[in-house]
Structure 1
Amino acid sequence: MPEIQVQWDDGADLSVGLPCYETAGAAGADLRANLPEKRDVQLPTGARKLIPTGLRMAIPEGFEVQIRPRSGLALAHGISMVNAPGTIDWDYRGPVGVLLINLGADLFAVTHGMRIAQMVVAPVARATFKTVPVLGLTKRGTGGFGSTGL
């Protein structure tokens, strides 16, 4: 597997830690909350909040970072992301935040250092866009939602 290097600036709060893979087979590296004054953020049912990670990164050209919800938080508490997956483009250099939403039944506290999302580094393919008089035919045709069965 080729190694892709994502760089972090010197301002990263290393006490919280850089993203890391929790297992040898993990596709996503966990991101942690880096909260001002280390104070919990309360996330009421139905609420959404931008949670800072305290990180800024440089992604290699030709790649993106996808930010995805953590399945454990989703299952146990109904915590997800409003824009899942979120995309960070290679040319963005600003702070990384995670837009969490509480879809659960109870108030949820985001704590300083909590693993709140995962990031996946992925290659990007750029397309060209062109109009044509007729699209090629396929067996599926115009069958949309549910057309292939349950």
Structure 2
Amino acid sequence: MRKTILLLALGLFVGPLSANDAGSPRMNFMLHCSGCHGQDATGSPGAGVPSMRGALGHFLKVEGGRQFLIQVPGTAQSALNDGQTAELMNWILKTFSKNEMPAATPPYTQREVAQLRANPLADVAAEREAIIKRLQAQGIAID
């Protein structure tokens, strides 16, 4: 009953959804990511929530970036299973940062996500800062 009410309320918030949306990456984004990152993935940089738009694909260009996207607490500690998380991250990248992704980037797999989740980051802020510096060294600016 609670899930039905949540889905109805979410439908009013994001617009019409079909039965095919249940359990889809789009629905999982709305349920598990949009509360912080917003419906349009622009985040709230002033509040410490980075935008995903036009940014995440760049993380795949530097050492540690691919791993970081799965090891951040919001992803690593999500209630989604490893397969759903891989599917969601692949959808997020293609939806919000397709043009920034390196050519021939392999999709995340359930196995890769499981391995990365098993090794959470000790210092998220320091790791993000190191990745941002690697990107800046390539001339890529990320907020």
Query: TM-score with structure 2 length normalisation?
Result: 0.30
Instruction: Work out which of the two has the higher radius of gyration on C-alpha atoms and give 1 or 2.
Output: 1
By relative contact order (CA 8 Å, sep 6+), the higher-ranking structure is 1
Query: TM-score with structure 1 length normalisation?
Result: 0.29
